[in-house]
């Protein structure tokens, strides 16, 4: 959160902000699934009729199951190296 305050608007003020790269569990989850785009199970097209119709629950279930399989197959030591590198080098983050 960034909310500077100046007590007297008629007096010049200097404002200095430091950004601290906080990481969250959501950020870690994003790192865990980054490679999923390479997996065929995640490249399957979801038809417009499946989004609007009763088939949506089945598509969501299939995606969840594919994600669980993908996550279980990951080597946590390898992922830790990737995450550590990202934590040190990423200057922008979304979460």
Cα–Cα distance measured from residue 46 to residue 39, given in angstroms and rounded to the nearest whole number: 15
Cα–Cα distance measured from residue 87 to residue 26, given in angstroms and rounded to the nearest whole number: 13
Domain that holds residue 45: 25-89
Q: How does pLDDT run across 12-60, given as a tens digit for each residue?
A: 888 777 666 778 899 999 999 999 999 998 998 999 989 988 899 999 9
Tell me, yes or no, whether 17 lies in a domain. Answer: no
For the whole prediction, is pTM greater than 0.85? no
pLDDT of 12 reads 83
pLDDT of 32 reads 94
What is the mean pLDDT of the segment spanning 62-78? 95
Tell me, yes or no, whether 3 lies in a domain. Answer: no
Query: 74 falls in which pLDDT band (50, 70, 90)?
Result: very high
Tell me, yes or no, whether 70 lies in a domain. Answer: yes
Tell me, yes or no, whether 20 lies in a domain. Answer: no
Tell me, yes or no, whether 31 lies in a domain. Answer: yes
Tell me, yes or no, whether 47 lies in a domain. Answer: yes
Tell me, yes or no, whether 72 lies in a domain. Answer: yes
Contact present, 70 and 36 (Cβ < 8 Å):
yes
Report how many domains make up the chain. Answer: 1
Q: Which residue has the higher pLDDT, 76 or 20?
A: 76
């Amino acid at each position: 959160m960034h909310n500077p305050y100046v007590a007297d608007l008629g007096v010049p003020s200097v404002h200095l902000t430091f950004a601290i790269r906080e990481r969250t569990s959501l950020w870690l989850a994003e790192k865990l699934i980054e490679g999923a785009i390479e997996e065929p199970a995640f490249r399957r097209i979801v038809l417009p009729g499946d989004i609007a119709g009763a088939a949506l629950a089945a598509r969501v279930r299939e995606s969840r199951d594919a994600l669980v399989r993908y996550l279980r197959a990951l080597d946590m030591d390898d992922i830790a190296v990737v995450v550590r590198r990202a934590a040190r080098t990423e200057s922008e983050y979304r979460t």
